[in-house]
Chains A and B, each alone.
Chain A
Amino acid sequence: MGARGKTRWFARLAGATALAFGLAACSGGTGADDADNSGGGDSAKEIKVVIAEYSKEHTATFWNAFKKTYEDKTGVKLNLQIISWNDIDQQASTMVQNGNPPDILNLNAYASYAKDGLLYNSDEVLTDSVKSDLIDAFVKSGTYNGKMYGFPDLSSARALFYNKDLFAKAGITAPPKTWDEFVAAAKKVQALGNGTIGYAQPLGPEEAQAEYSIWMFNNGGDWKTDGKWTINSAKNVETLQFLRDLSVKEKVTQNNPGKTNRTDGAFPLFTSGKAGMIVGFGPLQGDLDSKYKNVKYGIAPMPTKDGGAPQTYGVTDYLMAFKKDGNQEAIKKFYELYYSPDQVNTWIKSEGFLPVTKSGLEEFSSDASLKVYLDTLPNIHLTPTDDPAWDKIKLAVQQNLGTAVSPSGDPKKVLDDLQKTAEAGG
Chain B
Amino acid sequence: MLALIFGVVIYPAIELVRASTGEYSITGLRRGSAGTENYTDVLQHPALGTVLLNTLIWVSAVVAITILLSLGLAQFLSKEFFGRRMVRWAVLVPWAASLVITARLFTLIYDYYHGILNVFLMKLHVIDEPIDWLGDDSWTMPSMIAVGVLVSVPFTAYVLLAGLNAIPDEVHEAARIDGAGPWQAYRRVTFPLLRPALLVSAVLNMIYVFNSFPIIWTLNDRNPGYTHDTTITFMYKLAFKSADRDVGMSAAAGVFNVLLILVAVVLYLRLVKWREEDPT
Query: Nearest chain B CB to A75's CB is how many angstroms away?
Result: 31
Which residues of chain B are within 8 angstroms of A93 by Cβ–Cβ distance?
Answer: 27-28, 239-240, 247
Asked if A228 is at the interface (CB within 8 A of a chain B CB), the reply is no
Nearest CB in chain B to that of A257: its residue: B135
1/0 contact trace for B192-228 toward A, CB 8 Å? 0000000000000001100101000000011111010
Nearest CB in chain A to that of B8: its residue: A22
Which residues of chain A are within 8 angstroms of B25 by Cβ–Cβ distance?
Answer: 112, 115-116
Asked if B24 is at the interface (CB within 8 A of a chain A CB), the reply is yes
Which residues of chain A are within 8 angstroms of B208 by Cβ–Cβ distance?
Answer: 23
Contact of A399 (CB < 8 Å), options: B29, B224, B232: B224
Alpha-carbon separation in the docked complex, A93 to B246 (Å): 10
Alpha-carbon separation in the docked complex, A208 to B222 (Å): 11
Contact of B261 (CB < 8 Å), options: A24, A95, A399: A24
Contact of A112 (CB < 8 Å), options: B26, B211, B275: B26
Alpha-carbon separation in the docked complex, A396 to B136 (Å): 22
Query: Which of B25, B27, B208, B241 has most chain A Cβ within 10 Å?
Result: B27
> Is A395 touching B245 in the complex (CB atoms < 8 A)?
yes
Which residues of chain A are within 8 angstroms of B266 by Cβ–Cβ distance?
Answer: 13, 16
Given A1-B280, A20-B261, A204-B224, the answer on whether A28 and B16 have CB atoms closer than 8 Å is yes
Asked if B37 is at the interface (CB within 8 A of a chain A CB), the reply is no
Alpha-carbon separation in the docked complex, A274 to B15 (Å): 50
Q: How many A-B residue contacts, CB cutoff 8 Å? A: 158
Asked if A205 is at the interface (CB within 8 A of a chain B CB), the reply is yes
Which residues of chain A are within 8 angstroms of B247 by Cβ–Cβ distance?
Answer: 93, 97
Asked if B243 is at the interface (CB within 8 A of a chain A CB), the reply is yes
> Is B242 touching A399 in the complex (CB atoms < 8 A)?
yes
Query: Nearest chain A CB to B5's CB is how many angstroms away?
Result: 7
> Is A118 touching B29 in the complex (CB atoms < 8 A)?
yes
> Is A259 touching B27 in the complex (CB atoms < 8 A)?
no
- Among residues 240 to 280 in chain B, which have CB atoms less than 8 Å away from a CB atom of chain A? 240-243, 245, 247, 250-251, 254, 257-258, 261-262, 265-266, 275, 278, 280
> Is B16 touching A24 in the complex (CB atoms < 8 A)?
yes
> Is B222 touching A261 in the complex (CB atoms < 8 A)?
yes
Given A4-B280, A5-B278, A8-B278, the answer on whether A399 and B16 have CB atoms closer than 8 Å is no
Asked if A309 is at the interface (CB within 8 A of a chain B CB), the reply is no
1/0 contact trace for A9-32 toward B, CB 8 Å? 100010011111111111110100
Asked if A113 is at the interface (CB within 8 A of a chain B CB), the reply is yes
Interface locus among A160-168, A291-299, A400-408: A400-408
Asked if A220 is at the interface (CB within 8 A of a chain B CB), the reply is no
- Among residues 74 to 130 in chain A, which have CB atoms less than 8 Å away from a CB atom of chain B? 89-90, 92-97, 112-113, 115-116, 118
> Is A23 touching B207 in the complex (CB atoms < 8 A)?
yes
Which residues of chain A are within 8 angstroms of B155 by Cβ–Cβ distance?
Answer: none
Asked if B12 is at the interface (CB within 8 A of a chain A CB), the reply is yes
Nearest CB in chain B to that of A9: its residue: B275
Asked if A2 is at the interface (CB within 8 A of a chain B CB), the reply is yes
Query: Nearest chain B CB to A53's CB is how many angstroms away?
Result: 17
Contact of B9 (CB < 8 Å), options: A22, A28, A388, A401: A22
Which residues of chain B are within 8 angstroms of A238 by Cβ–Cβ distance?
Answer: none
Alpha-carbon separation in the docked complex, A17 to B264 (Å): 12
Contact of A258 (CB < 8 Å), options: B224, B245, B265: B224
* B interface residues with partner A (beta carbon < 8 Å): 5, 8-9, 12-13, 15-16, 19, 24-30, 112-113, 132, 134-136, 207-208, 211, 213, 221-225, 227, 232, 235, 237, 239-243, 245, 247, 250-251, 254, 257-258, 261-262, 265-266, 275, 278, 280
**Given A24-B258, A256-B135, A396-B243, 16 other A-B contacts at CB below 8 A?**
A4-B280, A17-B258, A21-B12, A21-B16, A24-B211, A25-B9, A27-B232, A28-B251, A96-B27, A203-B224, A204-B222, A205-B224, A259-B135, A259-B224, A396-B242, A398-B241
- A sample of 6 cross-chain residue pairs with beta-carbon separation below 8 angstroms, ordered by A number, consists of A5-B278, A205-B222, A259-B223, A395-B243, A398-B241, A403-B225
* A interface residues with partner B (beta carbon < 8 Å): 1-2, 4-5, 8-9, 13, 16-28, 30, 89-90, 92-97, 112-113, 115-116, 118, 195, 203-206, 208, 254-256, 258-261, 265, 269, 274, 388, 391-393, 395-396, 398-403, 421, 426
4 smallest beta-carbon distances between A and B, as pairs: A25-B12, A402-B224, A396-B243, A5-B280
